[in-house]
Amino acid sequence: MNILYTLNDKFVPQVAGGICSICENNKDVDDINFYLISNGISEENKKELEKFVKKYNRNIEIKELGNIKEYFDFEFDTTGWNSIVLARLILDKFLPEDVDKILYLDGDTIVRGELKEFWDTNLENYILAASIEPTVDRKRKINLGLEYFPYYNAGVLLINLKKWREEKTGKAILDFYKEHNGKLFANDQDAINGALAGKIYTVSPEYNFYNIFYQYPYKFLEKLMKPVEYIGKESFDKARENPIIIHYLGEERPWRRGNTHKYKDDYIKYLDKTPWKGQNYEDGWKLYFICWNIFNILTKPFPRLRYKIINSLIPTCMKMRAKKLKSKNK
């Protein structure tokens, strides 16, 4: 089993927690190989990660990304996100040739169970497998040419790397990104969806479970997806009852003090088993989470109203994030 993360030094504790959760819940897997694409991880953290993974008798390789702009022949705007997010578009350049399949995970994920069933997904006719993100804005989907195709969240991707290389998938995604002048709302995620329409296998949200799945009822999400068919209710309910991969999407992250995320204890549980126990917690979020919880209570009976409010706020939040990132880089 091959696992890939992309990260900078700031996100080492979160990724370490994710690695720990995989090792703890998949002890019956003979071989697990971790591949990390690094954007400036300190030598100290690299050594600690290597030592930690070896404790589980697993393998780890850390590759340095370098200047990501060298891989792009066009200017791009990551709309407030660190450019490390684009590394998954060129992942084949950092992985050994004999790796034919890999599971990419965002650094803000935790694994709560066995991955074997997911890993064994038949991808013979697909580039990758992913879970649908049903709440994506319809206008954005149409702009990407996805009116009659699902839109997927790219935080968890099971990749047929052999097919990825054969079909020059990385180039196809970069070409799509370039055609949109390097400006896409969800940058790499939009590019993956637009370039690979019809080539992605749909898996249950139990393998990429985030807050919308318990904030919105199934019928609302099913209606929102039309004219595209959504997953069955049985699969949806199973995911809600016992999700395997938790994705801490959005601002309600478990390392922010005061959060009430339903699965925050899972993050703490595995982080505390790593050398980074108790590290990287953020203060200053208390008032935000109080307001967020009030908003959740008030809008729970009105999913469409909630959806409209959040979708209207997202562009503003992204602009603020971009402005903050630019000020940091000055």
| Residues 268-293, mean pLDDT to the nearest whole number | 94
pLDDT in tens, 115-153: 999 999 999 999 999 999 999 999 999 999 999 999 999
What is the per-residue pLDDT for 326? 55
Site of tokens 């097919």: 163
Q: Is the dihedral of CA 186, 192, 196, 198 positive or negative?
A: negative
Number of domains in the chain: 1
pLDDT in tens, 161-202: 999 999 999 999 999 999 988 888 888 999 999 999 999 999
Q: Answer yes or no: is pLDDT of 328 > 70.
A: no
The DSSP letter of residue 172 is H
pTM for the predicted model, two decimal places: 0.94
- Looking at the DSSP bridge assignments, the partners of residue 104 are 4, 157
| Residues 269-284, mean pLDDT to the nearest whole number | 94
Q: How many CB atoms lie within 10 A of CB 66?
A: 11
| Residues 229-240, mean pLDDT to the nearest whole number | 96
The more confident residue out of 312 and 324 is: 312
Task: Give the whole-number percent of the chain exceeding pLDDT 90.
Answer: 82
- Domain containing 298: what range? 2-329
Q: Answer yes or no: is pLDDT of 159 > 80.
A: yes
Q: Answer yes or no: is pLDDT of 228 > 80.
A: yes
CA distances from 149 to 64, 294, 296, 301, 330 (A): 35, 35, 30, 29, 40
What is the per-residue pLDDT for 85? 81
pLDDT in tens, 51-110: 999 999 999 999 999 888 888 888 887 666 677 888 889 999 999 999 999 999 999 999
What is the per-residue pLDDT for 186? 87
Confirm if 135 and 224 have CB atoms less than 8 A apart: yes
What is the per-residue pLDDT for 181? 86
Distance separating alpha carbons of residues 286 and 292, to the nearest angstrom: 10
Give the CATH number of the domain where residue 111 resides. 3.90.550.10
Q: Answer yes or no: is pLDDT of 318 > 70.
A: no
Task: Give the whole-number percent of the chain exceeding pLDDT 70.
Answer: 94
| Residues 304-315, mean pLDDT to the nearest whole number | 88
What is the average pLDDT score of the chain?
92
Distance separating alpha carbons of residues 197 and 194, to the nearest angstrom: 6
In which band, very low, low, confident or very high, does the pLDDT at 327 lie, cut at 50, 70 and 90?
low
In which band, very low, low, confident or very high, does the pLDDT at 329 lie, cut at 50, 70 and 90?
low
Q: Answer yes or no: is pLDDT of 298 > 60.
A: yes
CA distances from 317 to 87, 89, 249, 281, 330 (A): 23, 25, 14, 22, 20
What is the per-residue pLDDT for 91? 93
